[in-house]
């Protein structure tokens, strides 16, 4: 794999005056095959504290990758109110292990308020509306405070992500989107976690290869599509934050 060290000249080359779809595509072409560490170096040098790292807390790779480069970096957690206890514990373990600042993005309505207004268990009747209120809108509000966001999305996660760039212009949110792990496979994830002895969400070794909210995440049989346990049987594959 080619690696690109973002030295001073390279950083100048990779820092257009204006960020838009075209300039992001140019940067993506230069960074697409760089290592995650070099992409993180570039992101930190370019955006500094104006970037936020999205943390699903399925693993703690991004909190480690950026926390070790940018002390106090904001790590955004979509606190839907429906997470597994193990996911919340992984978030807390990451906060204790790395010099990061957890930013909990919360919906306007608590679960009890949503139940009162829309009926109990909206996720079972209208998961798109539930995701819109508990993930999509809180994310949009939170991203308004930054110039770039970093996600742990990978091309192998889903067919909808198979051509996902490393750097792109996120027109929906009006900022640069950086996916430093885009080209990673499952072995890359394993290797990084083992090398750095990172806190892990224990559910990943209990049959949950893709972890979201508890009511919408089921165990997956060995060898099955890792995301087949998300919104199983509901014809839904994405919560709406990456598309």
Give the active site residues: 239
Residue 241 beta carbon to ligand SF4: minimum distance, rounded to whole angstroms: 10
Binding mask 4-43 for ligand SF4 (x = CB under 6 A): ----------------------------------------
User: Is residue 155 involved in binding ligand SF4 (CB under 6 A)?
Assistant: no
Residue 42 beta carbon to ligand SF4: minimum distance, rounded to whole angstroms: 32
Comparison of 127 and 180: residue with beta carbon closer to ligand SF4: 127
- The answer for residues whose C-beta is within 8 angstroms of residue 78's C-beta and 6 or more apart is 54, 56, 105, 134, 135, 138, 139, 241
Quick one: which of 16, 32, 69, 82 contacts ligand SF4 (CB under 6 A)? 82
Query: Are 85 and 217 contacting, i.e. CB atoms less than 8 angstroms apart?
Result: no
Comparison of 4 and 214: residue with beta carbon closer to ligand SF4: 214
Residue 161 beta carbon to ligand SF4: minimum distance, rounded to whole angstroms: 17
Quick one: which of 167, 182, 239, 241 contacts ligand SF4 (CB under 6 A)? 239
Residue 192 beta carbon to ligand SF4: minimum distance, rounded to whole angstroms: 26
| CA 21/CA 19 separation, integer angstroms | 7
Q: Which of residues 201-230 bind ligand SF4 (CB under 6 A)?
A: 212-213, 215-216
Comparison of 6 and 212: residue with beta carbon closer to ligand SF4: 212
Comparison of 40 and 220: residue with beta carbon closer to ligand SF4: 220
Residue 128 beta carbon to ligand SF4: minimum distance, rounded to whole angstroms: 8
Query: Are 56 and 63 contacting, i.e. CB atoms less than 8 angstroms apart?
Result: no
Q: Which of residues 60-79 bind ligand SF4 (CB under 6 A)?
A: none
Q: Which of residues 116-135 bind ligand SF4 (CB under 6 A)?
A: 123, 127, 130-131, 134-135
Q: List residues near ligand SF4 by CB under 6 A.
A: 80, 82, 123, 127, 130-131, 134-135, 212-213, 215-216, 239
């Amino acid at each position: 794999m080619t690696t690109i060290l973002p030295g001073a000249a390279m950083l100048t080359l990779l820092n257009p005056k204006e960020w838009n779809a075209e300039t992001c595509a140019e940067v993506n072409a230069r960074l697409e095959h760089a290592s995650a560490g070099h992409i993180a170096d570039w992101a930190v040098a370019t955006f500094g504290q104006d970037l936020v790292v999205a943390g699903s807390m399925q693993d703690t790779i991004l909190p480690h990758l950026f926390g070790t480069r940018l002390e106090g970096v904001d790590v955004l957690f979509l606190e839907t109110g429906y997470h597994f206890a193990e996911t919340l514990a992984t978030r807390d373990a990451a906060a204790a292990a790395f010099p990061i600042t957890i930013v909990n993005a919360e919906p306007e309505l608590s679960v009890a308020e949503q139940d009162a207004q829309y009926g109990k268990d909206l996720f079972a009747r209208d998961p798109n509306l539930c995701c819109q209120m508990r993930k999509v809108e809180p994310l949009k509000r939170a991203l308004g405070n930054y110039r770039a966001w970093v996600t742990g999305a990978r091309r192998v996660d889903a067919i909808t992500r198979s051509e996902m760039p490393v750097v792109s212009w996120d027109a929906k949110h009006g900022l640069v989107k950086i996916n430093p792990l885009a080209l990673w496979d499952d072995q890359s994830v394993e290797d990084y976690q083992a090398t750095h002895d990172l806190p892990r969400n224990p559910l990943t070794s209990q049959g949950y290869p893709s972890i979201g909210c508890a009511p919408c995440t089921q165990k997956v049989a060995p060898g099955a599509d890792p995301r087949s346990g998300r919104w199983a049987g509901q014809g839904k594959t994405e919560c709406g934050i990456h598309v």
